[in-house]
Structure 1
């Protein structure tokens, strides 16, 4: 018993520095934002308590709900775009191939590139006059398909989402690859002996063994979709006419452009609330499937 207590205290002391950093970096700012959300404050003049007026004004703003809609689109992009692509490449790389480390590094490369650099690169791809995409369409004789990809109200969000997928799929690929390499060889061999090969092996053996990993990746994907900012801000700044604006850009514009930190804090708390609701809903769906 005394040994267990000593072990418990040792673990607690070892985790204490990380816990202090987490409280200071995450929990304290959340508490401060919650406090500021009840005030009208420009960062300089004295704060004025206004109750829930910031929340009411936010929920009445159609631009905010446009941002919510775009965030849901980004969340769907992550779940149905990044996760399948990450799993597909993980399956390809989970085998003995010549130069496999080079392929893994190349596919993971977009993750380590700065989001600003990614935005600039893809901004050049989507340029109207000298963009790579429109140039390629001209070469193959599809000039009628040339578009203002980022400036189009219909295609702007889709264009940004493609960039978002390209930037992040490698992160999920690495997680899937680690999970695939931890599947027991005995299980694989037993499944093959029972006739589970090819698609059957993936559907009845590999996929069930990845359920816990898929759940973790799903949480990552949902949380990332609600935190996306720099990629969209550099590419479109939320335009045209708020068609690519997400909640984080809406919060930034109100807090730092309009100098209304109380309002911006209210928006940040709503972003946290919506992300928790989405994660809870995903948890319910995964429990039902299990």
Structure 2
């Protein structure tokens, strides 16, 4: 008898609590969002059915499209910043680099530090008067390059993206290190005997065997980036002039500040649909390149 069939009921009992929590805090809110999205409701008065009016309003809302553009910038910065850098550092540390364990610990520290603390520290570093970056530029004779990093619409989103990249590199670093350590050494030894250089071993052995791990990292990047909220909220509160506002912030503002629960639910559904679409597209692209 198969082991799973033998212990089917104990396994079901074991996963039941987690399944119930997932249903209550993930699936049920999504279902309720569909219901609230066709309603006009301020949380106090009686709900009013408005059909697809909230969806039409969102599609005609320039702030919504601006927030979506900013979200896509965060997604691009995360996918093309966090994943390649984390993979590069993972390959370095995996080569028995001296003090590798120290670098691994230091790289993972930003992941476990409170996002609020990270936002406050980086906000002080970006300060236009006494910030670390402007003082460094002045110290090396490039004072003309000093900027109002978070107050200038040209630089605000760029500055936020740099902080986001720095914060989560460590997460993917640990994921890639775990994948690298699971690749059998015998494969590398055989390739070395055949005369393959270090670069060729990386391109034709390491990366193909890590394809599924890289795909998972990209999916995590996309889903996490579309939920970005707290870091940007603390650093800029979406300013100046909505230039750093993302969909989660706009949804929060419309739902709780403006008490428009129907419109806020509509925005949350757009986040949900965009997440599914981007994850699906990225999965298709990575699978085609791997074939």
Q: Given the two structures, how large is their TM-score scaled by the length of structure 1?
A: 0.97
Give the match's secondary structure for 2:244: coil
Moved more, 132-141 or 188-197: 188-197
- Secondary structure, aligned partner of 1:121: helix
Match in the other structure for 1:181: 181
Name the structure 1 match of 2:218. Answer: 218
Q: Is 2:82 the counterpart of 1:61?
A: no
- Taking the aligned partners of 1:285 and 1:136, their CA distance within structure 2 comes to 41
1:32 aligns with 2:32: yes
Matched, 1:74 2:74: yes
Equivalents in 2 of 1:66, 1:3: separation in Å? 53
- In structure 1, list runs of 5 or more residues that go unmatched: none
TM-score, length of structure 2 as denominator length: 0.96
Question: Could you tell me which residue of structure 2 aligns to residue 124 of structure 1?
Answer: 124
Mean Cα displacement is larger for which, 191-200 or 227-236? 191-200
Unaligned runs of 5+ in 2: none
The residue aligned with 2:19 is 19
- CA–CA distance in structure 1, aligned partners of residues 78 and 171 of structure 2: 12
- 2:271 is matched with 271
1:145 aligns with 2:165: no
Question: How far apart, in 2, do the equivalents of 1:260 and 1:102 lie?
Answer: 49
Map of 1:148-159 to 2, 5 A cutoff?
Answer: 148-159=148-159
Give the Cα separation in 1 of the matches to 2:155 and 2:233.
16
Distance (Å, rounded) in 2 between the aligned partners of 1:119 and 1:205: 39
Instruction: Confirm whether residue 6 of structure 1 aligns to residue 6 of structure 2.
Output: yes
Report the CA distance between 1:94 and its aligned residue: 1.2
Give the whole-Å Cα distance in 1 for the aligned partners of 2:171 and 2:3: 40
Secondary structure of 2:7's match?
A: helix
CA-based RMSD of the aligned residues comes to 1.3
Aligned to 2:241: 241
Q: Distance in 2 between matches of 1:93 and 1:283?
A: 28
Task: Measure how far apart 1:3 and its partner are.
Answer: 6.7
Aligned positions, number? 290
Per-residue CA distance 1:32-68 (angstroms, 9 max, x = gap):
1221111111111111111111111011101101111
Q: Offset of 1:97 from its aligned partner?
A: 4.3
The Cα shift of 1:24 comes to 0.9
SS in 2 for 1:280: helix
Q: Name the SS of the counterpart of 1:223 in structure 2.
A: helix
